Structure 1
Amino acid sequence: MSIALKDKVGRYGIWNVGLRSEDPALRPEIADAAAELEELGYGAVWLGGNSAPANALPLLDATSRLTVGTSIQSIWQHDAQAAAAAFAEVEKAHPGRFQLGLGVSHARIAEQYRRPYSALVEYLDALDAAGVPSGRRLLAALGPKTLQLSADRAAGAIPYLVTPEHTARAREILGEGPLLAPELKVVPETDPDRARTLAREVLAMYLTLPNYTNSWLRLGFTEDDFASGGSDRLVDALYAWGDENRIRARIDAFFDAGADHVALQVVDGTPMDKLPREGWRRVAALLA
C-alpha cells in the first residue's frame, strides 16, 4: 500500500463501540465527539463491534481530516454486494476518508460460521468484482494465514487484543509496506488492583472466544492464564495501565515492534455504549 494511508491515520487512533450507535438521539453527541477527537490530534477512529460503512457517516460529516474505519464489519452479517454499495455511498460523500475493516467474527456469535478463511477469501473476491479497491480495506488478522492475506489482498491488518510480540511477528509476515494498526486497551489508573479489575470486566467476554485464546496460546500463554478472569500476566500484556510514563512506554512498545498506528481503546469504567471523552482527553495529553 502507499504511504498515503499511513500518513492519513497518523500514529494514534481511537477504538470505540459507542461511536457507531445508530440512535438518532445520539448523533449530535457523536458528531461533537468526532470533532473533538480530530482537534485532540487523533488521526483515525475505529468503530468497534459489528459496524458498517453507514455508521461512519456522522463522524465523517462532522470532521474534515479524520479517517474512520469499521473494526470490524462481519463478513457473515453483511452481504458483500451490499457492503460494496455502502462503501461506494460513503466514498462519494467523503472521498478517501473511510476504511472498510473486515473480519470473520466468531463461531459463538455468527451462526453461519464455517471455513472462515475460505469465506473471507470469497468475500474479498466479491468485493474485487464490485469495485472496492484492495487499498481501502483492512483485515482483522490474528493468525499467519490471515496476516498474509492482509498483505496480499488488503491495505494491511488491524489485529485486536494483541501484544507487542504479536505485532513483531505480524510485521515479519506483512513486510514493510502494509499498514499494521493493532488495538490496545488503555486503563488510566495507577492502582494495580483497580486497573486490573477494570481490565477484567472487559476481558471476560473475550476469554470465551477461541480465536483470541488460540492467538494467546501461540504467544506462549497457557490455559492457566485464562482462568479466574485472566492472570495478571495476561492482563498486563494486553492492557496499558498505570501512570503516564508507564502507559506511554507500553504504547511505544508496539511501535518498537513494528506498528504503524495504534488504535487506543480507553477502559475507565464508562459503559460500552457511552463515550469516555474525559479518558480520550487524558490519553491525548499524555501522548502530546
Structure 2
Amino acid sequence: MTTTAVETARQALGAVGVGLPVSFTSLPPYDAQRAAAVRLERAGYRAAWTNEVVGGKDALVQVALLLGATERMVFGTGIANIWAREPQTAHAAAALLAEAHPGRFVLGLGVGYPEQAAATGREFGRPLAMLRDYVGRMDAPTSPPAPDAPYARVLGANGPKMVALAGEIADGALPAMQPPAFTAQARETLGPDRLLLVGQRLEPDQAPDAAAAAIRAHVAAGADHVILMAPINTDFTEGVNQLETLAPALTALT
C-alpha cells in the first residue's frame, strides 16, 4: 500500500471505466478482445476492467495482452480470484505488469465463492480471514524477487466488513451493484486516502442521460471511479457497441 499508487490510480482512471462484457459460457477470441479494447480507447474511455473465474482464462494474462494492444488505457481486474494463483505469484505478475506499463494497471482481488475454492481442492473458509492471509502473503520474500514497481491493490467488497478490511490492508475497495448510499458508507469507512471504485450495472438500451446520472450519483457519494458493467452473458459485440455509443456522453465526465 502506497500513497503514490493511490494518487497515480486516481489520476489515471478518471471518473468512468468500462467492464468488458462477461460470459460464463464462452470467451470471445483474442482478436475480438483486442479490437474491442482499441475501439473503447479511441472512444475516449480511460480504463477497462475484466473479470476472472477459476479456469477458462487467466485475467492477468488477458490484461497483459490488452495492455500491449493499447496505448494509454488503464486495465484492472474486477476481480482477480485468489483461488486462481498463489499470493506471491499474483504480486509478481502484477508488479511485472506495472513495471512494463507504469500507471496503467490496478489489481482487484476477491475471495470468490466456495465452488471456486473447491475447484482448486481447497476449503473456502472464512472470507475475511482468507483474504487477510492472502494479501499478507503477497509480499513475502521470493527468489528471485518480484519487480519493484508500484501498483494499486483493491479488494472486492460488497459488505461493510470487507470494506473495512480493504481500508486496513489494501489501497481501497471495489463494491459492485450497490446503491449510492452504500458508496457513501464505504467512503466514510475508507476515509479520503483510499481508492473507492464502484461497479454500476449498465442496463440494455440505457439512455446516455440515465447512465451519466448513475455515475454522477456515485461520484457525489464519494466514488473515485465508476465502472459500467453490462449484465452477465451480454453478447460481447453488442455490449461493446453499446459502450461505444455511450462514450460521448460519459467520457466528458472524466
Structure 2 gaps of 5+ residues are none
Corresponding pairs, count: 234
Residue in structure 2 matched with residue 260 of structure 1 by the alignment: 224
Give the one of 39, 55, 65 matched to 2:62: 55
Q: Percent identity?
A: 34
Give the Å deviation of 1:45.
Answer: 0.9
Q: Deviations over 1:246-287 (max 9, x none)?
A: 33222211111111110001349833x556221011221222
**Inter-partner Cα distance in structure 1 for 2:24 and 2:91:** 19
**Inter-partner Cα distance in structure 2 for 1:275 and 1:127:** 38
**Inter-partner Cα distance in structure 2 for 1:10 and 1:44:** 8
Residue in structure 1 matched with residue 14 of structure 2 by the alignment: 10
RMSD value, Cα: 2.8
Give the Å deviation of 1:108.
Answer: 4.0
Give the Å deviation of 1:42.
Answer: 1.4
**Inter-partner Cα distance in structure 2 for 1:55 and 1:81:** 19
Give the Å deviation of 1:38.
Answer: 1.5
Letter of the 1:162 partner, please give it: Q
Give the one of 79, 83, 105 matched to 1:72: 79
Q: 1:276 to 1:90 in 2, by over 3 A?
A: same
**Inter-partner Cα distance in structure 2 for 1:98 and 1:154:** 15
Residue in structure 2 matched with residue 211 of structure 1 by the alignment: none
Q: Deviations over 1:5-53 (max 9, x none)?
A: 1110111111125599997x82222222112211222121111233532
The answer as to 2:35 corresponding to 1:35 is no
8 Å contact kept, 1:102–1:139: yes
Give the one of 96, 101, 107 matched to 1:89: 96
Residue in structure 2 matched with residue 177 of structure 1 by the alignment: 193
Q: 1:84 to 1:20 in 2, by over 3 A?
A: farther
Q: What SS class does the counterpart of residue 50 from structure 2 fall into?
A: strand
Structure of higher RCO (CA pairs closer than 8 Å, 6+ residues apart): 2
**Inter-partner Cα distance in structure 1 for 2:186 and 2:106:** 20
How do residues 191-206 of structure 1 correspond to structure 2 at under 5 angstroms?
none
**Inter-partner Cα distance in structure 2 for 1:278 and 1:166:** 30
TM-score, normalization by structure 1: 0.72
Larger radius of gyration: 1
**Inter-partner Cα distance in structure 2 for 1:133 and 1:102:** 18
TM-score, normalization by structure 2: 0.81
8 Å contact kept, 2:198–2:226: yes
The answer as to 2:161 corresponding to 1:155 is no
Give the one of 109, 130, 134 matched to 1:119: 130
Structure 1 gaps of 5+ residues are 190-240
Q: 1:4 to 1:141 in 2, by over 3 A?
A: same
**Inter-partner Cα distance in structure 1 for 2:115 and 2:26:** 24
Residue in structure 2 matched with residue 223 of structure 1 by the alignment: none
